Amino acid sequence: MPVVMSRLSAVRDFLAAEPVRVSATLRLPLIALIGVLVWIWEVDHWLPQLYAAILGSYAVAAVIWLLAVLRGPVPRWADWASTAVDLVVIIVLCLVSGGATAALLPVFFLLPISVAFQDRPLLTAIIGAITALGYLTVWIFYSKRDDRVGLPNMVYTHFGFMIWLAVATTALSFVLARRAARLRALQEVRRQLVSEAMQSDERHNRDVAEHLHDGPLQTLLAARLELDDARQRHPDPALDLVYAALQETATGLRSTVTELHPQVLAQLGLTAGVRELLRQFQSRYDIEVIADLEEVDKPQSQSLLYRAARELLTNVGKHAGASTVHVDLVRRGDRVILTVGDDGRGFDPEIVGRSLAAGHIGLGSLMGRFDAMGGSMRITSHPGQGTQVTATSPPEPAADAIETR
């Protein structure tokens, strides 16, 4: 089933987990290479059973870890912790191999590279330095255990190359970290610009709503009262028709004022605002509404979520051809989640991007606002199988934190 996620949110989530996933994926061929290298060199293991047990446990743990990182998010510390485990295991394998140090030399060079793309220069420097010192330590240990081997001069050359590699990968990580910081700064500027634009829209809508309420609507209501008095003094079917038209116009103007500046949203919060939207929706369309609205108070992004609910319900009423619409509103951790689903005709979600490019900004513009603010919008739909849209707010502070301000 086609799924369209807000583009920036999807990219952001992917990049956040990418280093851990790349490391976990590359770890398996690295383990295979260790086995092949030692097998080709025919190393006379010092402790062969322990060596096999360590390498086998390492392989099993690597597979389990890969499955874990592919299935969902992992803690921030997991990237460097997994690399530290790699380093410890490689050194232990060298210590118990009794001669596999030379065979495992390429592995020592690869370890610093595995953390260079994590945008953490200090961690990269530490892992690189420990890798070089670990290689030298293992050779010293091996030379002390076997007097016939000694400490070849090539070991010092390898040690120098590893130090150089640590410096190079640290510099690379520093450059990547600076670029990531600039990207985050640009994203924050974009979020602030969109937030200011939305606030400007809200102020404009409020001004227009107040003008309509205090001007044309009051004039219309006064005219209706005058006409009502005239109808009572001089009953006339023509006056009744005019009165009905004035009544319908006043009702429509009130609805417009409410949409521009929903007082219930400002006074009672998002849940009450969505509930009022559903009441208006039911009065306009012959569609069954099944709602599960959790009390979420007044989140900072309530205007954005309210606008999403209004846009989505309007689309259902005008375009979906649905008989039932499901609306859920919940808070999950620091996010508020709005879900609107229907059993209508459905559509191809890819047309949202094409419609935006053609200038039809409705749903596409809404997705862009969620992206810019740090939230997300996911559309799941297929022709003939209905539509479900899940709008997730940007991170929201806890309710108790807001009350203490």
The reply to whether 165 and 16 lie within a common domain is yes
354-372 mean pLDDT: 63
Q: Which residue has the higher pLDDT, 202 or 357?
A: 202
- pLDDT for 60 equals 92
Number of domains in the chain: 3
For the segment 302-311, the average pLDDT, to the nearest whole number, is 85
CA gap 238, 233 in Å, rounded? 14
Number of other residues whose CB lies within 10 A of the CB of residue 21: 15
Residue 379 within a domain:
yes
Each residue's pLDDT tens digit, 314-357: 888 888 888 889 999 998 888 889 999 988 888 877 766 555 44
C-alpha distances (whole Å) from 298 to each of 267, 276, 371, 399 are: 9, 15, 21, 9
- Residue 6: pLDDT band (50, 70, 90) is very low
For residue 11, pLDDT beyond 50: no
Are 183 and 200 part of one and the same domain?
no
154-163 contacts, C-beta under 8 A, 24 or more apart: 158/105, 158/108, 159/132, 159/135, 161/109, 162/108, 162/109, 162/112, 162/128, 162/131, 162/132, 162/135, 163/128, 163/129, 163/132
Which tokens hold the place of 309?
């609910």
Q: Are residues 224 and 307 in the same domain?
A: no
Q: Is residue 4 part of a domain?
A: no
Note whether residue 323 is domain-resident. Answer: yes
Amino acid code (one letter) for 157: T
Q: What is the mean pLDDT of the chain?
A: 76
Q: What is the pLDDT of residues 36-46, one digit of tens each?
A: 776 766 555 55
pLDDT of 358 over the 50 cut: no
Tally Cβ neighbours within 10 Å of residue 243.
16
Among 50-54, 189-193, 353-357, name the one with the lowest average pLDDT. 353-357
Do residues 114 and 243 share a domain? no
Q: What is the CATH number of the domain that holds 287?
A: 3.30.565.10
In a domain, 1, yes or no: no
Give the pLDDT score at 1: 38
Residue bearing the bigger pLDDT, 214 or 271: 271
Tell me the percentage of the chain whose pLDDT exceeds 70.
Answer: 74
Q: Same structural domain for residues 242 and 178?
A: no
Residue 220, domain extent: 191-252
pLDDT at 117 > cutoff 70: no
